[in-house]
Amino acid sequence: MTAPDPRTGRRLDARSLRAVAHPLRVRILEVLADGTSATSARLAEQLGESTGTVSWHLRLLAEHGFIEEEVGRGTKRERWWRRTAVQTVLNTTDFADDPAARGAVSVYLQELLRLQHQRVADSIAAEWEGDWRGMCSITDWNDLRMTPAQLRALNDELLAVVARHVPGPGAVAEPDARPVIVQIRAMPRAGGA
């Protein structure tokens, strides 16, 4: 999932958060993240789940507006699903006073982190050729000291830099362009004083 612009994305409320906070539903959204469409049977095969289970989760994701049926494709028995164009925004402070929602936040974030880690591990393990070789960058600054306002400013600046490289609607990618992973994690270090 990309880092959406909090001013234009769909802000998750407790109900929609609980709908998406399930490991299989997060994995379904990951498969459909790059504009891919799929049927429940294809997703079930790819995810190692039963078609009935995947179909149930697809209906729940559709009910909450995370995915939609691709109209005009498939048959009555073979429905094709795709992600909606609206990005989701999770602001964990929205759930500070809701213990049930905090559990859903934890499940959702843990699954997102697992998927992000897997993307990086897959990229590192890949056999890149030509100009793509050596393009990976993993950087860690773990000795910074900041106030909450400074950290917020840093996060805003980092998101702005990435946003400048996100193609607009209808943009055509260069012929040698590939999907690229950009992950930014800037947060207070637990246990640090």
Q: What is the pLDDT of residues 146-184, one digit of tens each?
A: 999 999 999 999 989 998 988 877 888 888 888 888 888
pLDDT at 193: 60
pLDDT at 139: 87
Look at residue 2 and tell me whether its pLDDT is greater than 50: no
pLDDT at 8: 59
**Domains of the chain, each with CATH number or no CATH:** 10-125 (1.10.10.10)
% the chain with pLDDT above 70 = 94
Give the DSSP letter string of the chain. Answer: -----TTTSEEP-HHHHHHH-SHHHHHHHHHTTTS--EEHHHHHHHHT--HHHHHHHHHHHHHTTSEEEEEEEE-SSSEEEEE-SPPEE--GGGGTT-HHHHHHHHHHHHHHHHHHHHHHHHHHHS---GGGTT-------------HHHHHHHHHHHHHHHHTTSPPTTPPPPTT-----------PPTT--
